[in-house]
Amino acid sequence: MQQCCDAYAQAGFGGVSVWRNVVAPNEGGVGLAEAVKIVKGSGLQVPAYVRGGFFPAADAAKRQEAIDHNKQVLDEAAALGAEQVVLVVGAVPGLPLDEARKQVANGIAACLPHAQQAGVKLSIEPLHPMYAGDKSCINRMAEAREICERLQSPWLGIALDVYHCWWDPDLEVEIRLAGEQGTLLGYHVCDWRLETRHLLTDRGLMGDGCIDIAGITQMVRATGFAGLAEVEVFSEQYWAMDQDQYLELIAQRCG
């Protein structure tokens, strides 16, 4: 984490979104106090702490457990100075998606007072439908918007990831609506490789694939979104590269 933050700051990047696995000791992380020290010392902004969510469950006790966990994640995000906690909302094989979405809305509603208290927003990240089986029952911006409209909280919004939403025929309309409703909280970029080799760890770097990133970025910026664009590339291929060279390549592709 220290190495990343030093290198990002030196390369002129404005921020770093922090994944919980590099923070939480039980996930192999450096511990919250150390993570806070590293991040604050770097001078980088923290657009997001990643990730909360996974609200749906077959029984009430597990749903409550998820709510409690999300409150803890919000507290950690506050300590890190993160603007938002990104929610991968969850899905349970066998549980109808519509029921799962209701449980997601209820779970988020139960966390919103805590979000306000922590001063950290919650952002629903719609995931590509290929994850509807077990990771996310929310797959389009429209479903995220419906929950935002229902819960009407300034502490709730949407994180748009081009990887998940680029194909959506309503994308332009939904980005505009999110802008109007003040719910566009995060913007993630990468690319969709043709002939994807793995559902999770084969994302492309901007320019490797077929997403009209410039076009989508233009729609996002037209709403007045002034946040950082977050480069989010899960890729065995790029992780295997020399990471200093990779950082240079990322900087080039951001240009």
The answer to the question of residue 188 lying near Zn ion (CB under 5 A) is: yes
What string marks each residue from 215 to 234 as x (binds Zn ion by CB under 5 A) or -? -----------------x--
User: Binders of Zn ion: how many residues, by CB under 5 A?
Assistant: 3
Q: Are 85 and 123 in contact (CB under 8 A)?
A: yes
- Crossing angle between the packed helical segments 141-151 and 97-118, to the nearest 10 degrees: 60
Nearer to Zn ion, 36 or 123 (CB): 123
- Residues β-bridged to residue 19: 50
The answer to the question of residue 208 lying near Zn ion (CB under 5 A) is: no
Supply 241's token pair.
């590269």
Nearer to Zn ion, 145 or 188 (CB): 188
For the CB of residue 249, give the shortest distance to Zn ion in the complex, in Å: 19
The answer to the question of residue 161 lying near Zn ion (CB under 5 A) is: yes
For the CB of residue 61, give the shortest distance to Zn ion in the complex, in Å: 29
For the CB of residue 64, give the shortest distance to Zn ion in the complex, in Å: 27
Q: Are 132 and 91 in contact (CB under 8 A)?
A: yes
**Alpha-helical runs (H) found in 119-232:** 141-151, 162-165, 171-181, 213-222
**Going by C-beta distance under 8 Å and a sequence separation of 6 or more, which residues neighbour residue 180?**
223
Q: What is the binding site for Zn ion (CB under 5 A)? A: 161, 188, 232
